[in-house]
Structure 1
Amino acid sequence: MQCQIRRAMPVDAHAISKVVNGALQESNARDYPPEVIAQVEQNFCPDSILALMKQRQMYVAVVEQHVVGTASLDRAVVRSVFVSPRHQGRGIGQQLMARLMDAALVAQIDELRVPSSLTAESFYAQLGFHKVRDEFNGPEHTVIMALRLDA
């Protein structure tokens, strides 16, 4: 599948919000109760996405001029990796992660961390991340994972 990975722009905020919320509702809903999904969704409205763009290196995956995925790098922490359910399983998440890893190497970061959802734990493990610990915030269960980068 022809996919372009590029830096996110303010004009992408609505599309990114739609991708994230779609993935949360369809993919993550298998592992989390509705109240957790609703709480996380509040963090990804278009205005919140615009604010995050100013704090992180945010990227989008574009297929046929449509945003179908997103991922961010917040210093040495991978954040908000989501691919629309329609496009999952096609390597788009791996392409986004490769872009983040390249950006981390340029920034001379030697270890990436990711607060993974239960849904994405196997995805990160396939990329070489290992589990560091579990974190619980009420009913929300996050798996902290790490990957050592070699230049």
Structure 2
Amino acid sequence: MNESDLQTLVEQVSIEFFAKPFRHQARFNPRLRTTGGRYLLKSHAIEINPKYLEARGKDYLVGIIKHELCHYHLHLEKKGYQHRDQDFRRLMTEVGAPRFCQSLDPTVKVQVYQCISCQTEIIRRRRFQESRYRCGRCGGKIHYIGPRTQAVES
């Protein structure tokens, strides 16, 4: 899929699901890392991460486009276009747009701790200060083992 195919797809999705035209530019942005797409407030352009098309396919890409078009149409109508706004959440459920993108990376780095008394392993995404916490099972002291890479459940 090239840029003109993406532009056509965004225009079709806008008419089909929102009954409103998309009059601005849609483009791929390979520099996007942690998001499937983004809506630019000043230029009203929509940028899409091409890695999601390669990894998840066209149907998943349509979901990302719906999400970004929710931002687009609500912003132009001067309604609540941010994730926390009620207008945005209502429109997303109406058109069936996903709220978040699934991760492209199937693994995540986790922090591993262990109880000194009962040897229970405690896994967290973020580090914490061991001296401030105790084991939930036996009340023993906790010590840090180190980071580990773990598969993400989808």
Tell me, yes or no, whether TM beats 0.5.
Answer: no
The structure in which a higher percent of residues are strand is: 1
- Given the two structures, how large is their TM-score scaled by the length of structure 2? 0.26
Higher RCO (CA-CA < 8 Å; seq separation 6+):
1
The structure in which a higher percent of residues are helix is: 1
Question: Which has the larger Rg?
Answer: 2
